[in-house]
Structure 1
Amino acid sequence: MNLANVIASKDVYNIIRQTLSMVNPDIMIHGEITGYILAKMLECESIYTRQDIADYAMLGVLHDIGLYKNEKHDSMFVLENYDVWAHSIYGYLFLKYLSPMEEKADIILYHHLDYRLYNNVQNKYLKITSYLNIADKMDTFMHMQKGDVDPNYFKEYRDLTFSGQALDLFYRAENKFKIIAKLRDGSYRLELMNILAARIFSEDQKKRFLQMLIYTIDFRSVHTVDHTMATTAFAREIANCMRLPSIDQQHLYYGALLHDVGKLAVPIEILESPRRLNDEEMRIMKTHVEITEDILTGVVNDAIVKIASRHHEKLDGTGYPRGLRGEELTLTQRIIAVADIISALHGKRSYKDSMPAEEIKQILREDANNGKICKKVVDCTLRNYNTIMLNFDKEQRETMKIYFMIKDQYDTIYEQFKEFG
């Protein structure tokens, strides 16, 4: 099936933009400005295809994705310069292992490296790295100088901190495209969207970009990193057992993958509470569903929005946020409700261990018999429970393998980068 009918390539970027803006809008704005400057520099060289430029612009937009792991609430420019290697390394690892842009991840790793040290590293994209370095620093410098660029500052550090060739290219691009004027009046945003629209993603690339987004959100804790992937896996397995049509399975996949993006707006101390939440904390936690709906509405297919935003609804009308009843809930919406419950019960949290299988089954039976969740879905789940869990366990091992590999490689690379100061 053609996934363009489910999620378009442009929607992938819009989901990433909407979601990460919820975490820290300043990082997203800086990323877009940096991506735009980089794209116009490459366009000025006249040797890159539209798709090449779109790829590098996307890389520019995501160059500080490692900052989203940081729980500090300082300004973006303070965060970026507090420890340049920490976010550069995490961004590199996210792009290398979780995105379809793994080949170009080195550009992110070295984007804060002084030009005078380029001979000390191996990176076949050093020229693009030097361009990203200039684009990044131009926005930072203009922010500090309230929109002005002082040529004397950059001349002083030419071929030391910055590549002279990259600096000259920026000025040529500025003369040709009036970059600074477009940044000031905001017209660069539409132009950036048109640049990015040149890139058409494959089915696998769409999935990997959105999975990277979820990992980025959940990477704050080993206990939360697998929740979304678990819900997605359980929903997929149940849908397979129930022989849902392909289009419904695709809607369910993306709805499950995106169902908790609204948790970005929930304070980390509530998400990672070492105890059960009190009434006020639970009220705040419940807002994540409506925030998820706000993020996705108008960006993705309405069927996906409803699957994502109705995973806490109950057939008897006691769920939230709308208190919908059974006749208002489709089969895919009923499946994600069951998948989310299994994920919550099976998953470890700071205040509880994974629940044994028989207890999970008993809770599902009771909720189904009490008219809370769909009996048809539960019956199918219980009949195939062992197979569902076997397939999930294989997938979870891969998820956690990636998680710990990134953790280990971060520590190793960080030690190596200490020599750069």
Structure 2
Amino acid sequence: MIQMLINLLKTIPSLGRHSFQVAFLSAQIAEKMNLDSNVSFLSGLIHDLGLILPYEGKTLLDEIDDTFVIVRDTPGKPLHLHSILGSFITDYVEKLKPISPIVLKHHFPASYLDKTEENLISNIVFISDQVSRYTMVNLDVSPRDILIALEDMKSFFFPEVFEACREVLNMEFVQWQLENILAGYDVTDLLNDHVRNCPDCDKKDLIQIGKIVSFIVDTKSEFTTSHTWRVAVFSKKMAEKAGRNSEDLFIAGLYHDIGKISVSYKILEKPAKLSDEEYAIMKKHVYFSYLILLPYKDENWFLPAVRHHERLDGYGYPFRLKGEEMTLEDKIIQVADVFSALLEERPYRPANTVEKALSMVREEVKKKKLSQEAFELLESSLEDFDLSSIEVGREIRKEIRTFVNRVVEKFGDYVL
């Protein structure tokens, strides 16, 4: 689970580098203070994940590129919306619940906190976040410059946290590692010890996380508000009809478009047909999905998830596979993906009716692009559910709003 998250952050370059710096530095400071360095690492890694969770129709990090906006903390307003949203994500996933309060309070000054281990770690993430922000804005900065800048915020931190940070930043090893992370060097080996000690996840956890993933992906564009969830449900029902592992196909459907998190919303939301260059970028989401999901390459659901744009005639992508090289599971998710997309509105065409969408998929079968067997499974599955009810987004949107309101009621209003 954590390696998948690291791979996701790698595809969002500046947010990834910032998150890796904060995770690494938080673990170093916690170790210096004899606190749980693995919890500190995980909290630092996830602390800004709320930036990619949609709220009220948009994300706080709308433009995915090499720009990571550094905002000053607002005096007297320690509660940030992205902290609340990140806390929601960790609270939603059972095995991440313990770090939810840490993520929530990672901008809280020490004066707002009792001195518990949880709050000390939250304060560690806060000071690590400030160090990383400073290094990202001020390139070639010296440790002395960082410490001088931190002096102005000294009252925001517990004295022992500030002192431990000072000691850690004076270590050449730490300085060079922060520089390497910022320069974009592969940090896999550096983070591996902590990754091994982080909680692993079973299929129940994967489905929980997958619901959030599907919501993030689908809400990035007004034209795909339930696409991922529909693909997951269609694939599951078709697999049941075929006597195949329906849970695996459901998971494949939830994660098949995870790479779109790394695609600019300007392309996803373009109110016209994409140019050749834009289409090439859009196609690359499959490659990003492959990279992100690689830790699960030995799971049965992995290949169907990353092969959903392959075609029987060998003209799909990204592997240019032909029919005999693919499994029925691959072919099921391909049909489910095309059918779901045809039911959705696009900037350049209206949504199709079920009958019209089925007719268009049938034409692709006749052209030997999609599987006849998978298409028949789709047709026989449609009677099992009401298409209008297939949307997990409405449920998650309501849960997020309730969570935000509960936090605001307890701590006061937030800033962006």
**Smaller-chain TM-score bracket:** 0.7 to 0.9
3-state SS of paired residue (1:67): helix
CA distance in 1, matches of 2:273, 2:30: 52
CA distance in 2, matches of 1:77, 1:375: 46
CA distance in 2, matches of 1:100, 1:291: 25
CA shift digits 1:97-134 (9 cap, x unpaired): 35742343222222112333447xx9993222112112
Equivalent residue, structure 1, for 2:196: 197
CA shift digits 1:215-251 (9 cap, x unpaired): 44444345435322221222122112211157xx53x
3-state SS of paired residue (2:220): coil
2:121 is aligned, of 121, 128, 133, to 128
- Corresponding position: 1:30 with 2:18: yes
1:107 is aligned, of 86, 102, 107, to 102
Q: How far 1:148 moved relative to its partner?
A: 1.2
Mapped contact 1:99–1:212 kept (Cα < 8 A): no
Mapped contact 1:67–1:80 kept (Cα < 8 A): no
Number of aligned residues: 396
Equivalent residue, structure 2, for 1:289: 286
Mapped contact 1:80–1:87 kept (Cα < 8 A): no
2:69 is aligned, of 78, 86, 95, to 78
Mapped contact 1:99–1:209 kept (Cα < 8 A): no
CA shift digits 1:158-198 (9 cap, x unpaired): 3x222213212334556789533443466975342211211
Mapped contact 1:40–1:177 kept (Cα < 8 A): no
CA shift digits 1:251-295 (9 cap, x unpaired): x44443332233345432221133444555444433433444455
- Could you tell me which runs of 5 or more consecutive residues in structure 2 were left unpaired when the two chains were aligned: 53-58
Q: How far 1:66 moved relative to its partner?
A: 2.4
Equivalent residue, structure 2, for 1:224: 224
1:381 is aligned, of 378, 398, 403, to 378
Q: How far 1:86 moved relative to its partner?
A: 3.4
3-state SS of paired residue (1:239): helix
- Corresponding position: 1:157 with 2:153: yes
Equivalent residue, structure 2, for 1:4: none
3-state SS of paired residue (1:40): helix
- Corresponding position: 1:65 with 2:49: yes
Mapped contact 2:263–2:282 kept (Cα < 8 A): yes
- The 1:357–1:184 alpha-carbon spacing in structure 2 relative to 1, beyond 3 Å, is closer
Q: How far 1:318 moved relative to its partner?
A: 4.5
TM-score, structure 1 as length reference: 0.78
Specify the code of the residue in structure 1 equivalent to 2:153: Y
Equivalent residue, structure 2, for 1:42: 30
Mapped contact 1:345–1:360 kept (Cα < 8 A): yes
CA distance in 2, matches of 1:261, 1:382: 27
- Corresponding position: 1:401 with 2:395: yes
CA shift digits 1:38-58 (9 cap, x unpaired): 22233334354xxxx434312
Alignment of 1:174-193 (within 5 A): 179-184=174-179, 190-193=189-192
Stretch of structure 1 that moved more, 59-68 or 342-351: 342-351
CA distance in 2, matches of 1:82, 1:14: 30
Percent of pairs with identical residues: 24
Equivalent residue, structure 2, for 1:234: 234
Q: How far 1:324 moved relative to its partner?
A: 3.6
Mapped contact 1:259–1:309 kept (Cα < 8 A): yes
Equivalent residue, structure 2, for 1:367: 364
Equivalent residue, structure 2, for 1:8: none
Specify the code of the residue in structure 2 equivalent to 1:403: R
- The 1:361–1:54 alpha-carbon spacing in structure 2 relative to 1, beyond 3 Å, is same
Specify the code of the residue in structure 1 equivalent to 2:38: A
Equivalent residue, structure 2, for 1:54: 38
Stretch of structure 1 that moved more, 25-34 or 90-99: 90-99
3-state SS of paired residue (1:78): coil
Specify the code of the residue in structure 2 equivalent to 1:341: V
CA distance in 1, matches of 2:165, 2:34: 14
CA distance in 1, matches of 2:6, 2:90: 16
- Corresponding position: 1:138 with 2:131: yes
CA distance in 2, matches of 1:31, 1:193: 15
3-state SS of paired residue (1:111): coil
- The 1:284–1:354 alpha-carbon spacing in structure 2 relative to 1, beyond 3 Å, is same
Specify the code of the residue in structure 2 equivalent to 1:230: R
CA distance in 2, matches of 1:377, 1:420: 49
CA distance in 2, matches of 1:39, 1:363: 54
Specify the code of the residue in structure 1 equivalent to 2:242: M
- Superposed CA RMSD: 3.8
- The 1:222–1:100 alpha-carbon spacing in structure 2 relative to 1, beyond 3 Å, is farther
- Could you tell me which runs of 5 or more consecutive residues in structure 1 were left unpaired when the two chains were aligned: 1-11
TM-score, structure 2 as length reference: 0.79
CA distance in 2, matches of 1:197, 1:255: 24
CA shift digits 1:36-86 (9 cap, x unpaired): 2222233334354xxxx4343122101111233312468666334488823
- The 1:127–1:47 alpha-carbon spacing in structure 2 relative to 1, beyond 3 Å, is closer
CA distance in 2, matches of 1:303, 1:80: 43
Specify the code of the residue in structure 1 equivalent to 2:81: A
Mapped contact 1:346–1:354 kept (Cα < 8 A): yes
Instruction: Identify the structure with the greater helix proportion.
Output: 1
Specify the code of the residue in structure 1 equivalent to 2:4: I
- The 1:45–1:183 alpha-carbon spacing in structure 2 relative to 1, beyond 3 Å, is same
3-state SS of paired residue (1:311): coil
CA distance in 2, matches of 1:101, 1:227: 26
- The 1:212–1:172 alpha-carbon spacing in structure 2 relative to 1, beyond 3 Å, is farther
Stretch of structure 1 that moved more, 30-39 or 94-103: 94-103
- The 1:131–1:286 alpha-carbon spacing in structure 2 relative to 1, beyond 3 Å, is closer
- The 1:168–1:14 alpha-carbon spacing in structure 2 relative to 1, beyond 3 Å, is same
Specify the code of the residue in structure 2 equivalent to 1:367: E
CA distance in 1, matches of 2:165, 2:194: 18
